A = this chain, B = another copy of it.
Amino acid sequence: MNVKPLTTQEEVLALLRVEILTGELQPGQQIVQDALAEKFGVSRVPLREALKILEGEGQVTHHPHRGYFVAELSVGDLHEVYRLRALLEREAVTAAVANITDRDLFKIAELAKEVHTATSTGEVLAITAANREFHFAIFELCEMPRLVRLLRQLWDATDVYRSVYFAQAPNRERILLEHDEILNALAARNVERSISWHDTHRDNSVASVSAVISG
């Protein structure tokens, strides 16, 4: 198969995402390049290039000669991200329904099952990963690569909080049902219903998360 060995910067990028996601690197905290590079066993060059990518995604901020800092999300930011997601995901879903094939539906159904199995294990990281794959399998169908890229950025920005969301058992139960509803709506090629289930899915998420933040 086509298993290219990853470059160091790609590995470092993945590691950084995990560090941020798990809270190993906390919001607001400075990222000391020397320390992290040594921790990862690499030099600072690939680390800095990975940080530049995260900067572009808004995951970290950069102040010249002062360094990189893990971005902090206020409640306002959170709502902004979800508002933008609403706009863009509606567009993506609309286009997706227009393009969707039975083969696609089958694949998405498979991914929904994987969310199910991941949920039964209870491992939060596995659930978020599976959940993400499920949703982006749908978004990808819109055949608008830039739109998908923007959506990935928005999802990345709130990954930290999403894992908080999945940590609560009732939420885990609910998303399974909502995924099924989304799947049904897609199978029926019903744009309205597909969108509205996506909306409620998001709304539940943002409500739960902002309760955690402000609480």
Q: Does A67 contact B (CB under 8 A)?
A: no
Which residue of the partner chain B has the closest CB to A149?
B58
Among A48-56, A97-105, A114-122, A133-141, the stretch in contact with B? A48-56
* In the bound complex, CA of A88 to CA of B154 (Å): 14
Q: Interface residues of A, CB < 8 Å — how many?
A: 30
Copies of this protein in the complex:
2
Q: Is B147 touching A64 in the complex (CB atoms < 8 A)?
A: no
Q: Which of A52, A53, A64, A77 has the most chain B CB within a 10 Å cutoff?
A: A52
Q: Is A39 an interface residue (CB 8 A)?
A: no
In the complex, are the beta carbons of B91 and A58 less than 8 A apart?
A: no
Asked if A147 contacts B10 (CB within 8 A), the reply is: no
CA distance A84 to B49 in the complex (A): 28
Q: Is the interface of A mostly helix, strand, loop or mixed?
A: helix
Give Cα A37–Cα B170 distance, bound, in whole angstroms.
Answer: 55
Does any Cβ of B come within 8 Å of A177's Cβ? no
CA–CA, A58 and B147, complex, Å = 12
A14 within 8 A of B: no
Q: How far, in whole Å, are A141 and B48 apart by their CA atoms in the complex? A: 33
A60→B4 CA distance, assembly (Å) = 21
Contact of A52 among B10, B49, B154, B157 (CB under 8 A): B49
- A interface residues with partner B (beta carbon < 8 Å): 4, 7, 10, 45, 48-49, 52-53, 55-58, 64-65, 77, 80-81, 83-84, 87-88, 91, 144-147, 149-150, 154, 157
